Amino acid sequence: MEKSEIVELFNKNQVFWTDGSCSCNPGPGGFGVISLKVEELDNGKIRKYINYAYSEECEHTTNNREELKAILHVYKYFAPEKQSDETVVIFTDSGYCYNLINSWIWIWCENDWRKSSTNKVVDNVDLIKELFKYLCKFPNIEVHKVKGHKDILENELADALATGNKTKFLNLCKKNNIEDF
C-alpha cells in the first residue's frame, strides 16, 4: 500500500486491531484492542498516534474466547450507529474468528448452534450468539485476517495489550514514534 492509501484507510474508517491471549489454554488470559490514527505530514512522512487502546484480563479462559471478546468489544462500543457514516474495519490474527464471522456462524445458526460434522453445540456459543446479533444488525463491519507475530505493528500492539505486557507496548510506541492520545 502507498502512504496515501494507508492514510485514507485509517482516516476514512474506524480501524481496529484485536488480539486475544491465554496461558496454558485454558488458563489466565486477556484481550487487547487498539486503534491508531494516521496523518501524512508536509515532509511526506506519516505520523501515527493512539486513538483508542483497551485491554481486559480474565482469570480462567481460552485463547479463542479472548479473541472473540476483543472483536465483540469493538462491535459493542464502535458499531456504525455510534459512528455515523464511518465504516468499522477490524483486523484479527485469529483464523478461528475470521472464519467464524465470514462463514461458519451462518451455518451454525441454521443448525441450531451445532457443528454439522458432530452435531455438538459449538464452543463459545454464548459469545457467538452475542456476536451473531451484531453481525445481523451491522453487516457492513469488515473483519480481515492478518498473520500474527509477523512484525505488523498494530497487531503487535494489540498482542502487548492482550498479554498485559506494558513494557513491550511502550517500547513499540517509542520505537515507532507513536504518540499518545
Catalytic residues, by residue number, are 19-20, 67, 93, 149, 159
**C-beta separation of 33 from 24 below 8 A:** no
Quick one: cell of 103? 462463514
Show Cβ contacts of residue 167 under 8 Å, excluding neighbours closer than 6 positions: none
Pairwise CA distance, residues 121 & 54, whole Å: 31
All three cell numbers of 133, joined, read 446479533
Q: Where are the alpha helices (DSSP H) in 30-124?
A: 63-78, 95-99, 105-110
- On the 0-12 / 13-18 / 19+ scale of CB atoms within 10 A, 14 is buried
